[in-house]
Amino acid sequence: MLSHARKLKVVFFAVLSVVAASVPGLAGQASAETAVKPAASQIVADMGAGWNLGNQLEASVNGVPGETAWGLPTVTQALIDKVKAAGFRTIRIPVSYLNSIGPGPDYTVNAAWLNRIQQVADYAYNRGMYVLVNMHGDGYKTVNGSWLICDSSAQPAIKAKYQKVWQQVATRFRSYDQHLILEAMNEEFDGQYGNPTQPCYSNINAYDQIFVDTVRKTGGTNSSRWLLVAGWNTNIDYTTGNYGFVLPTDQYRSSSIPGSEQRLMISVHYYSPWDFAGDENGTITQWGRGSTNPARKSTWGQEDYLDAQLKAVHDKFVAKGYPAVVGEYGAIDKSSSDSSSNRYRADFARAIVSTAKKYGASTVYWDNGANGQYGFGLFDRRSSTVTHQGIIDAIMSGVRS
């Protein structure tokens, strides 16, 4: 999600030994599928509940990224410690690079900016949390300084720049263990909310492939690290359906990884129904079977829809050994229009987390640091205090379900 001051919308890598391989007489009975599942299911279980450090390292002014650019305070160790204490085990750090990237052919990223990205990642990594680092705002046409534009005619230069930036970021993190996950991009599409178009989708597939190849070639733990890739706008239908998504190959990964196991994860986002989750008005304020006012409940996007969406992700990817990450989800605060709204925000969060768990996916709540009307925030980032314990409790309940 792209969020700014006015607009809210925009591993430990655990390979479990296959029991059959160590028990005489059972090895021959182990199928390729059972060999795949332990690593994939274990990483999802280990990641637990996740939280986004939104509106910070992807914030920018006039094309210059900066963590306080959209009015939030500097990120502190105390904030990350509070997030961990609340029960979150994974933190996703959205990052924009924009005009911190120098000219070609080297496309050198400003060292101070890379240092700060690494420092913030360390706040969580050094506490034993999983950390997802992505490339966030560089693909939005509405962002000054954006350049990862899938329908631009300058694809050779864009792809060269993309490769160089990821080479530098991956090199920074290549000694980190599998608690560090790199994510190729964020909500990459042509900016039009309709069916995917070509050659845009082919270019998105090419970005994913460049990302995987580039990270792997930097060596170290990157040769076996879990890498997170995405389809069109991280949209579930456009990623699981016949719209053009192509999984990247992983030919440069470490030979120590069994051929039957994957090291790629699939990113999707979930804000359905948008009239409840994101529309900045007080009309649709309730969600789910517990809602009490039909006029305040959306006509679509309820529990059955959620189940079908995450089942589609499971059937397309998880069942084949590719873990899924619901890298963003959540609903804005409409309690100024309906005092019961936060209850339904909690119900929504619990349902997404528990349904994702059912279908083998991990979840990362979208927190943009804004509290009060239309905010997604669960914490006050200035005081490092919890603002919505009820929603946090619902998330943790969903993880335990």
Q: Which two tokens stand for residue 93?
A: 């750090």
Residue 1 confidence (pLDDT): 80
Residue 260 confidence (pLDDT): 86
Length of the chain: 401
Check whether 32 has a pLDDT greater than 90. no
**CB distance 170 to 121 below 8 Å:** no
272-288 core/surface letters (b: 16 or more CB in 10 A; e: else) = bbebbbbbeeeebbbbb
Q: Which of these is catalytic: 67, 183, 261, 328?
A: 328
Predicted TM-score (pTM) of this structure = 0.91
Which residues face 180 on adjacent strands?
131
Residue 2 confidence (pLDDT): 64
Other C-beta atoms within 10 Å of 153: how many?
8
**CB distance 72 to 42 below 8 Å:** no
Residue 8 confidence (pLDDT): 40
Check whether 7 has a pLDDT greater than 80. no
Residue 36 confidence (pLDDT): 41
Check whether 63 has a pLDDT greater than 70. yes
Check whether 176 has a pLDDT greater than 60. yes
Binned at pLDDT 50, 70 and 90, residue 39 comes out as: confident
Query: CA 385 to CA 377: how far, in whole Å?
Result: 11
Residue 241 has phi, psi (to 5 degrees) of -90, -175
Check whether 291 has a pLDDT greater than 60. yes
Helix (H) or strand (E) holding 348: helix 341-358
**Annotation marks residue 328 as catalytic:** yes
Query: CA 79 to CA 401: how far, in whole Å?
Result: 27
Mean pLDDT over the full length of the chain: 92
CATH number for the domain formed by residue range(s) 44-400: 3.20.20.80
Domain positions in the chain are 44-400
Binned at pLDDT 50, 70 and 90, residue 346 comes out as: very high
Check whether 224 has a pLDDT greater than 70. yes
Output 25 or 161, whichever has higher pLDDT: 161
**Annotation marks residue 187 as catalytic:** yes
Query: CA 376 to CA 336: how far, in whole Å?
Result: 14
Q: Which of these is catalytic: 58, 67, 187, 188?
A: 187
